[in-house]
Copies of this chain bind each other. A is one copy, B any other.
């Protein structure tokens, strides 16, 4: 089974400028040594094409349900294809979208052979998301995001119930997120049945982001 480490850069200071490029370089170095784990970086849209020159497995943090055309300040799904971006996170707890738009984005992405990681706050939302058939699903209880209290230890039942709710509908890899702060938290998520983790602050706010990436990938590889 493939394992996933998705790093949401959010809009932290380290998500821009030289620091962001440094994280991408580190991911690039690490990635070549991994056999089971895929690292996906999700930088801010503004720097995504710069990051993808350094590391080739990049998602946006959001994409819009529009096509190429007369739209101002929106990112059409097709633009990812043209610019060499692999896919996008959507419906993150900090950027919730309409069910209709989620459906539109997933359909468009599938046609264009792009990937969508759709987030869900709860097992119920995860089930609804699964019905739309995204590439990946991440379950993140919003009350734990950014707290350092790992979902895999504080609310393991959200992961297990979420996995079950998704599996009834179809087979889609499910990542766990919120509060993941150590390799051990990531390993615990895999033990519960998750296919990987979605992290942000553990890497982006680390003194040494490369070290944090290493700790996480080691945990995922060695499981």
Contact = CB atoms under 8 A, between A and B. Distances in A.
Interface of A: 8, 10-13, 15-17, 44-50, 60-62, 66, 68-76, 79, 82-83, 85, 89, 91-103, 107, 121-122, 124-125, 127-133, 145-146, 165, 168-169, 200-201
B11 A74 contact: yes
B83 A47 contact: yes
Number of copies: 4
29 contacts: A10-B71, A11-B72, A11-B74, A12-B68, A12-B70, A16-B68, A17-B82, A44-B75, A44-B79, A46-B46, A46-B60, A46-B83, A49-B49, A50-B50, A70-B145, A70-B200, A71-B95, A74-B94, A74-B95, A96-B98, A98-B98, A99-B102, A99-B128, A103-B122, A103-B125, A107-B124, A124-B133, A168-B169, A169-B169
A159 to B, nearest CB: 18
A201 B69 CA distance: 10
Interface centre among A62, A99, A133 (most CB of B within 10 A): A99
Contacts of A130: 131
B128 A11 contact: no
Nearest to A200: B70
Contacts of A168: 169
